[in-house]
Amino acid sequence: MKHFFLLFTAIALIISCQPTKDQKRVPREVNHYTVEQFMDNESVFGGSFSSDKSKLLITSNRTGIYNVYTVPAEGGEFTPITNSDSSSVYGLSFFPEDERILFDMDNNGDEVFHIYMMDIDKKITELTTDEGARAVFYGWSYDKKSFFYGYNNRDQRFMDFYRMNVENFKSTLIYQNDQGHGFGGISNDQKYMALTKVINTNDNDLYIYEFETKELTKINEVLASNSAQDFSVDGKYLYFTTDEGSEFSYLVKYNIETKEKEKVMEKNWDIAYAYFSYGGKYMLTLINEDGSNVVEVKNTETEELIDFPEFENGDITSVRVSRDESMMIFYVGSSSTPSNLYIYNIETKEYKQLTEVLNEEIVKDDLVTACVIRYNSFDDLKIPSIYYLPHQASVDKPVPALVWVHGGPGGQSRQSYRPLLQYLVNHGYAVLAVNNRGSSGYGKTFYQMDDKNHGDKDLKDCIAGKDWLMKQAEIDSTKIGIIGGSYGGYMVMAALTFAPEEFDVGVNIFGVTNWVRTVRNIPPWWESFKEALYKEMGDPYSDDSVRLYNISPLFHAENVTKPLMVLQGAQDPRVLKAESDEIVEAVKKNNVPVEYVLFEDEGHGFVKKENQIESYGKILKFLDKYLKGSEE
C-alpha cells in the first residue's frame, strides 16, 4: 500500500555482476541508436483468449498510442479493434462465450477510467456513463453471465461493487462500500466475497463477506500485511498471502466453514500472487525473487510443477490459462529485452512466440543486461540495486553515471526492460537503480524503514549509491547525477536541496516538491487509504505539517546549485502540475540552468510515443550538456 506515487563503505556483489577470476571484462564499442529507434520498439501486454481459443485480445502501442488488437493464437498479423489517436485504450477481456470485447480508457491520463463494450458488429457502447465517475473491471463471474466492477458514481471517495448482466447490461449493486474496503474476489458460487481494509501502509485486515446474511467476518487475528488471492473452485476455501510472523509474504488456505488456516506455500521471498485456473486444475504463483520473477504453475491433481521452456536471461510474467485449461499464454522479457508474448500447449509442451517487439534495427547484443549488486549505506544497511554498465565503459575510458530512484514510496526497481534506461546506457551512461530502504520486495522490516524518514535516510541511501559508483574503475567519479520519477522525482529534488553538492545534475520526472499540498490533495478515490498515507507521511492537518514542510524541496529551493530538468504531465491527478511549475520558478531565481518539459496530454507517466521520444531525447541532450560536458 506504499505505492502511492508509482510514486559508502564495503560492498557485496552478486557473482553475475562481475567476471570470474579466470575472466576479464572486455569493453567494446556499440552502435548508438536514436531515441526514435528505441521507441520504435513495441510495448504489448494483456492477453484474453477468445471463446474458441482462436485469437487473443492484447494491447499495443504500435501506432504511438495504446490501442486494442487481436492476434491469431497460431501467430500472424495484428487486427486493430480500436483506433484512438488521443487517449490510450486498454483491452480488458473477450466475453466468455462470444467475441464481444470489453475495454477501458481514461482522458489523457486523468485516471478516470470508463468501461466500454464492442459488439460483434463493431458497435461501441459505453457501459459506465456517469461523468467524473471512475470504473474498475474486476473480472467475470464463474457462470459467465455477468462481470464485476467497482464504481464510485455514488461517492467519489469509495468504490461500490456491482454486477453487470451481459444479456441486458443491467447493473446490480452488490456491496455499498461506505468503509473503503478493497475488492478481493468473489467465490464461484457467489456466496462469498473477500474484502480488505487498509490499516497502514504496511498492514491491512482481511474479511469474508457473506451475501445472504450480510455478515462480515474478519480473518486475521493480528496486524499483518494480508492480501486475498483466490477462492477454491468449490468455494470452501479462501487463499490469501500474509506476512504474519515472517519477513516475507507466504500463502495460506482458510476454511470458511471451520475458520481453520493452513500454510500451503512459503519461500524466502514474497509470494506476490496466487490464483487458480478456471476449473481449478492449475494453481499459478509468482515469487518476487530479488527483483526478478519466478513463476510456478502446479497441477493440483498431481502436485507436480509444469516445466516451462528455458529462456536465457528472461523472466516469465503475466501467465494466463485458457478456460478449458489446455493452453497458456505468458510474456518473456528481461532488463535488456522488451517482453514478447508466447502461447504454450500444456499437454504437448509446444510453444510459439507471437510477437517480436524489439526494433529490428537494434542489435540485441548492443543492449546491456543489468545485474544485482548490494552496497553498504551510511549505517551499514545493505541496499540492493540494479546496475547497468555500458559495454564501452573501461578503466581507460570511464563513463558518467546516474543514480535512478524508483517511484512509490514503496516501489521497487526490478530486472525488467526500461527503454529510457537502455537509451541512456547505450549513449554511455552507467545507471544504478537503487532500492533504498522503504522499497518493497526485501522483507517488511526493510519496507518500513523509511516511514517518516523521507528525505533523510532514504536520501542517504541514494548518496551511498553515488559513493559506490565513485569507487568503480569504469566510472568517472566527477560526473554523477540523479534521476527519478514520481517519488523518485521527489528524491531528486531532495538531493539537490538537502545535499546540494552530492550530485552534479538532477532530472525530476513529475516528482513531489510540496508534501503539504500533495498529501492534502490526493485524488478522491484514494480515500480508503488516506489514513494509511497520513501514517506513512504525516497528517497535513496536524503538527505533522511542520515536518512535511521541512522535507518539501519547494521551501528550500534556494539551496539548489546544480543544473535541473523537470518533466510533467498536465493531467496528472497524483502529482499536480503546480508542483513542477513552482519548483521551476523557484530554482530559476538561483541563476542555475533549469529546463522544463510539460505535456498537456499526459498524466502520471508518459504513455504516448511522441511524448516519450521528446522527453527521452531532451533528457539525453540535457545530460550530455551538463553532465557529460559535450552535446553529441
Q: pTM of this prediction?
A: 0.93
Per-residue pLDDT, 18 = 53
First and final C-alpha spacing in the chain: 42
CA distances for 286 relative to 47, 184, 243, 482, angstroms: 17, 17, 16, 32
pLDDT means per 10 residues, the chain with 632 residues, are: 42 40 74 96 95 97 96 96 94 97 94 96 96 97 98 95 96 96 97 94 93 97 96 98 97 98 97 97 96 94 90 87 96 95 94 95 96 97 98 97 93 94 98 97 93 90 98 98 97 98 97 92 79 82 91 97 97 92 98 97 93 97 94 56
Burial pattern 354-368, b for ≥16 Cβ within 10 A else e, equals bbebbeeebeeebbb
- 95-120: pLDDT as tens digits: 999 999 999 999 999 999 999 999 99
Question: Residue 597: how many CB atoms within 10 A of its CB?
Answer: 17
**pLDDT digits 0-9 by tens, 389-425:** 999 999 999 999 999 999 988 899 999 999 999 999 9
Domains present along the chain, CATH in parentheses: 11-18+362-628 (3.40.50.1820), 42-179 (2.120.10.30)
- Supply 341's cell numbers: 508474448
Continuous H helices in 18-86: 35-39
> What pLDDT score does 2 carry?
55
**How confident is the model at residue 5, as a pLDDT?**
47
Cβ pair 67, 79 in contact under 8 A: no
The whole-angstrom separation of Cα 162 and Cα 147 is 8
Question: 47 phi and psi, to 5 degrees?
Answer: 160, 90
What is the DSSP track for 284-349?
EEEEEETTEEEEEEEETTT-PBP-PPP-TT-EEEEEEE-TTSSEEEEEEEETTEEEEEEEEETTT-
Query: For strand 55-60 and strand 67-72, is the pairing parallel, antiparallel, or unpaired?
Result: antiparallel
Judge whether 273 and 258 are in contact, CB under 8 Å.
Answer: no
The answer to whether residues 588 and 557 touch, using CB atoms and an 8 Å cutoff, is no
CB-count exposure of residue 15 (10 Å: 0-12, 13-18, 19+): exposed
Q: For residue 531, what pLDDT is reported?
A: 79
Cell of 243: 506476512
At residue 410, the 3 state secondary structure works out as coil
